Structure 1
Amino acid sequence: MTLLRGRAGAVTASLIGFLFFVEFVSGVLQGFYVPLIPDLVDYLGIKDADFNIFEGAQLLLSALVVPILAKLGDMYGHKRILLVSTVLTAGATWWLAFAGDFTSFLVAWTLQAFYVVWLPLEIALIFDKGRRSGRAASATRKAAGLLIVGLEAGAIAGALGSSAVFEAFGGPDALGSSVVPTLMVPAIAVTLVFFVILFGVPESEPLPGRSLDWIGFSILTIALLLITSGLTFLKFNDDAWWPWALIAVGILAFWPFVAFELRQKDPAIDIRVFRQANMWPVQLTAFLIGISLLGAQAPLATYAGTDKDALGYGLGLGSGTISVLIGIYLISMIVGALLFPLVSRSRTPRFALIVAAFLVAIGYLMFIPLHLETWQVFMNMVIAGLGSGALVGAMPAAAAAAAPRGQTGIASALTNTTKTIGGSFASSVFAIVLAIGAVQIAGATAGSLFGYYLVWGICGAGALVAAVLLFFVPKLAFADAEDPDPATASAEQVVAR
C-alpha cells in the first residue's frame, strides 16, 4: 500500500511511519532536557548561565557537520549516513547519561548535535524514493509535514515525560541517583532509532563517480566556525569588538569559497544551483525565519514570566502556565505543518510558502500593540506557530525540489545551517538588547519593554522580508515533474504541468 501514489517507486506508508518515529525521537531529544536544566545545573555543580555554553557548542558543531554529512549522503546513500549519524548520536546520548562533570557533559552534549542532520537526510531520501513516480515534490511536501508532526509531538512528549521520569526515580531529593536513569531514557530511544532505520528504511540511489571536495568544505567549515563562534562569544562579550571581527572575517571567507567552488567539477556546494531563482530565496528565508524560530523563544518565555505589577509589563505567569503557552505554540506548529501540503495542492507551493512567512510576520508584529493580556500573547503565538510549522518542513522540501539529482541532501541541509546561523545571530543580538535594557530601566534581570519591542519587531520584519523574497521564486516552482521516468524526472525538471 502506498501513502502518496499508487504506483511502483512511490513513497510508502511504512517508510513514512519509520521516519516519523525517527523524528519523534529527534523531538524527544529537543524537549526532554529543558525541564531538567535547573536540576542538571545542581547535579553538575555549575551556574545557570553555564548551561548556555552547552547549547552554543551544540549549535556550533551542528552548523559545521550537517553540510558535510548531507553531502556524504548524496554520495554514498542517505540511509547509510543516517545510520552513521544515529550511532554517533546514540553514543553521545549514552555518554551524557553517565557524565558527572562539566567537561564530559559538555563534550557529550556537543556530540549529540549529529541528530540535527536526520531531517535533511530523510527529506533527501523521501525525494529520491518518490522520483520514479514523477510525484517527488508533492510527496516530499506531504511527508515533510508528517515528519514535523512527529518532531513536535516528540518535543511535547519529551518535555512532559522527562519531569515525570525524573520524579519517578526520586527527583531532586535523590539527585545523585535519579539523574543517570532519567537520562538513560533518551539514550534508549536513540538506540531504537538505529534499528528502525536499519530494518525499516530503504537506501536511496546515489550517483556514481562522486568525490568529496575537501578543500571546499574546509573553507566552508572555517567560515562557519568563525561566524558561529563569533556569535557565541558575542553573548558573553557584548561590549568587545573582537566577536564582531570574527563574524566579519567569517563572512569575507565566503568570497574565496565561492570563487573556488565555481571552478570545481563536483563542488561541495554548487553555487550555480544556489544562484537560481527557485533556490536562493528559500535559503535566505531559512536564515530569516531562524531569527524567530530559534532566537525568540527565550525572550518570549522571560516576558511571560515578568512581573507586571512590578514593571508595568509582562504577564507574570508561573512555570506551569508558560509550559502551556509553549505547548500551544508547538500544537499550532503541528497544524501549520499539516496545512502546508493542502494549501500547496489547492494553490501552488510558492503561494503556501509566502502565506506561511506572512503568518510568522503578522504573529510577531502583533506583539507590538497586543502584549498586555495573556490571551493576546497566546493568539500571537498561535498565528506565528502556524507559519513556523509550515516552514520548518517546507523549506528543506522546497530546497530538495529545486536541487538537481545528487544534491538534494546538501540543499536540504543548508536550509538547516542557514536557519541555525539566523537563530544564533538573533539569540546573541536579543541577549544584548534585553541586557542593556534591563540595566537602564529595570535594574534587574528583566528586559525593558523597549527591548522586547525590538525583539518582536526584528522577528516580524525578518519574516516580512522573507515573504517578499519568496515572490522572486518562479510562480510554478517546486511542483511535480511531468515525466515519471526516473532517468528524466530529476529535480531540475520540477515545474508545474
Structure 2
Amino acid sequence: MSDALHRSAAAGSSAPPRPNAVVAVLAFAGIVVSLMQTLVIPIVPELPRLLDASASNTAWTITATLLAAAVATPVVGRLGDMYGKRRMLLISIASLISGSVVAALSDSVVPMIAGRALQGLAAGVIPLGISIMRDVLPAERLAGSTALMSASLGVGGALGLPSAAFLADNFDWHVLFWTSAALGAVALVLVLTLVPESKVRTGGRFDLIGALGMATGLVSLLLAVSKGGDWGWSSGSVLGLFAVSVLVLVAWGFYELRTRQPLVDLRTTARRQVLFTNLASIAFGFSMFAMSLVLPQLLQLPEQTGYGLGKSMMTVGLVLAPQGLVMMAMAPLSAAITKSRGPKITLMTGAVIVAAGYGLNIVLMSEVWHLVLVSCVIGGGVGFAYGAMPALIMGAVPPSETAAANSLNTLMRSIGTSFASAVAGVVLAQMTTDFGTTALPSENGFKVVMAIGAGAALLALVLAAFLPGRRPAAQAVTAAGDTGGGDTDGGHSGPVEVSGAKS
C-alpha cells in the first residue's frame, strides 16, 4: 500500500484541517495531566493536620497516584489500540476531572486517597496523545509534534509547582483540586471539539488475565520501592512484596508469550530498538527525578547549614519553572536533529547534556542562579531525550500497536522515577549532618545523589549506543505512514484494522 493510500486509510479521507489545533490541544491535555505530579507537594507537610490523619496515612495520597498510574498506563494504551485512542483519551481526562472533584470535596484521608487514585488513572493521556498524532497528523509534522507532546510530561510538572505553591499560600487548599478539575474540563471540551478519532484499530479481545497479572506485579514492585524507606528495606512486608512481584511478573511473562492477543506483545518489546529505548527510558526517568529530589531540599534547608539557601516553596517553584520552558523549547530542536541524524543521536545527545548538568550541579550549588542554570541544562537534555523516545518506539512497531508501545515506554520512565526516589531517600537518610537536635541530609549526600543522577544519564548513553543505526528519516521519524514499522533488526507487519477492513 502506498504512503498516500495508507494515510488516507489511517486518518480518514485526508489529514485533519487544523493540525496546529490538534497538536496544541493534545499538548495542553498532557500538561494538565502532568500537573497532578506536583499538585499536592506544597501541602504535603500540612496534610496530617488538614485531613486529621497520621503522616503515614496521608503519604498514601502520593503513593495511590503512583500505583494507579502504573497500572492504568499500559492498560489504557492497549484499550486505545483496540477501541479508539481518542475515546480512551476522553475517558482518562474524565477520570482526572472526577478525581479532582472528589479530592476537592474531601476533608478526610480516605476520599482524598480515592480522588488521587482517580487522578492517577489519567496518566495514559500523554502516550495516547502521541499515538493519535501518529495516526492523524501529516507526516512532516510528526517529529516536532510528538517531541512536544512527550516533553509535556516535564513541562506540566515544572510549571505546576509554582502555581500550586501560589494557590496553597493564598487560598484554601481545596482550590488546588477545583483548579485541576476546571483545567481538565477545558481539556475535555477541546479534545471533543478539535481532535479527530484515529481509525487505526487492532480489534480482538482484551487480555483481562494479563492485565490483572501485570497490575499485581507492578503494584507489588512499586509499593515495595516507594514504601521501603518507611517500612524498612529488610522488613518482611517489603521483602515479601519484592518476592511477589518477581514471581508474578515471571509468570505473567510466560502467559503473555503464550496467549494469542496479549496485553503487551513481549516479542515486539524484545526487539532491539524497543528494548533498549525502554531501558534507556528507565535510566532517564531515574536521572530526571533525582534532580527533582535534590534541588528543592537544597533551596529550602536553612542557610545556617552552610549549603542550604533557606528559600520558600514558592521560590522552589520559580527556580524549577524555567526547566519546563526549556524542555518545551527543545522540542523543535530535538525534532530537527532526529530528522537529520536519527533519533538515536538525539537520545545520546540528551544523555550527555543531562550528565553534564549533574556534573555542573556538583560544583555549582551555593546560589539560587546556580540551581536555575543546572535545572535548565538538565531540562534541556531531558527535552532532547523525551523527544527522541516516541520516534524510536514508533519506528519499531506497527501503527496498530502504537498506543500500547508508547504507554509501556511511559511506564518505564515512571519506574525509573520510583527507583530514583528510593535510592535518593536511602542515600540522604544515611549521609546526614547534625543541625541542633535534627539530623539533616549532608552536603556530601546531595553530591552523591547528583553523581548517581549523572551515572544514570551515562547509563542511558551506553544503552542508546546499542540501538540500531540511523535509518532514513522517512522511516525512523515519519513512521505514521508505515504499516509494519519494523526496526533494522527486522520487524513484522501485523494486521491493521482500518475502518473495518484489513490492510
TM-score (norm 1): 0.86
Unaligned runs of 5+ in 1: 172-177
Paired residue type of 1:328? P
CA contact under 8 A between 1:44 and 1:102: conserved in structure 2? Answer: yes
Counterpart-to-counterpart distance in 2, 1:209 and 1:148 = 26
1:154-174 Cα offsets, whole Å, 9 max, x none, are 556544444555666xx3xxx
Paired residue type of 1:298? L
In structure 1, the residue corresponding to 2:362 is in which secondary structure?
coil
- Judged with a 3 Å threshold, the aligned counterparts in structure 2 of structure 1 residues 248 and 295 are, in CA distance, closer, same or farther, namely farther
Partner of 1:365: 359
Greater shift after overlay, 196-205 or 148-157? 148-157
- Judged with a 3 Å threshold, the aligned counterparts in structure 2 of structure 1 residues 378 and 270 are, in CA distance, closer, same or farther, namely same
In structure 2, the residue corresponding to 1:25 is in which secondary structure?
helix
Equivalent residue for 2:249, pick from 250, 254, 263:
254
Name the Cα RMSD after superposition. 3.1
Counterpart-to-counterpart distance in 1, 2:345 and 2:291 = 25
Counterpart-to-counterpart distance in 2, 1:230 and 1:190 = 31
Paired residue type of 2:78? K
Which aligned pairs between 1:418-433 and structure 2 lie closer than 5 A? 418-433=412-427
- Judged with a 3 Å threshold, the aligned counterparts in structure 2 of structure 1 residues 239 and 152 are, in CA distance, closer, same or farther, namely closer
CA contact under 8 A between 1:294 and 1:420: conserved in structure 2? Answer: no
Counterpart-to-counterpart distance in 2, 1:277 and 1:443 = 53
Partner of 2:148: 146
Matched, 1:183 2:153: no
Counterpart-to-counterpart distance in 1, 2:149 and 2:342 = 21
Which aligned pairs between 1:168-207 and structure 2 lie closer than 5 A? 171=171, 178-181=172-175, 183-207=177-201
Greater shift after overlay, 283-292 or 236-245? 236-245
CA contact under 8 A between 2:342 and 2:473: conserved in structure 1? Answer: yes
% identical equivalent positions: 25
Quote the offset at 1:253 in angstroms: 3.2
- Judged with a 3 Å threshold, the aligned counterparts in structure 2 of structure 1 residues 49 and 119 are, in CA distance, closer, same or farther, namely same
Counterpart-to-counterpart distance in 1, 2:39 and 2:218 = 28
Counterpart-to-counterpart distance in 2, 1:255 and 1:412 = 22
1:259-278 Cα offsets, whole Å, 9 max, x none, are 22222222221112111121
Quote the offset at 1:463 in angstroms: 0.9
Quote the offset at 1:233 in angstroms: 2.0
- Aligned residues, how many? 477
Matched, 1:472 2:471: no
Counterpart-to-counterpart distance in 2, 1:384 and 1:63 = 25
Paired residue type of 2:199? E
Equivalent residue for 1:410, pick from 404, 407, 411:
404
Quote the offset at 1:81 in angstroms: 0.8
Counterpart-to-counterpart distance in 1, 2:477 and 2:301 = 57
Unaligned runs of 5+ in 2: 1-6, 490-503
Matched, 1:45 2:55: no
Partner of 1:13: 20
Which aligned pairs between 1:303-452 and structure 2 lie closer than 5 A? 303-308=298-303, 310-438=304-432, 444-452=438-446
- Judged with a 3 Å threshold, the aligned counterparts in structure 2 of structure 1 residues 47 and 479 are, in CA distance, closer, same or farther, namely farther
Paired residue type of 1:262? L
- Judged with a 3 Å threshold, the aligned counterparts in structure 2 of structure 1 residues 456 and 197 are, in CA distance, closer, same or farther, namely same
Greater shift after overlay, 202-211 or 105-114? 202-211
Greater shift after overlay, 213-222 or 72-81? 213-222
Partner of 2:277: 282
CA contact under 8 A between 1:405 and 1:492: conserved in structure 2? Answer: no
Quote the offset at 1:385 in angstroms: 1.1
Equivalent residue for 2:65, pick from 58, 67, 71:
58
Greater shift after overlay, 181-190 or 153-162? 153-162
Greater shift after overlay, 444-453 or 265-274? 444-453
- Judged with a 3 Å threshold, the aligned counterparts in structure 2 of structure 1 residues 341 and 271 are, in CA distance, closer, same or farther, namely same
Quote the offset at 1:187 in angstroms: 1.0
Counterpart-to-counterpart distance in 2, 1:302 and 1:380 = 15
Counterpart-to-counterpart distance in 1, 2:56 and 2:297 = 15
CA contact under 8 A between 2:65 and 2:119: conserved in structure 1? Answer: yes
Partner of 1:294: 289
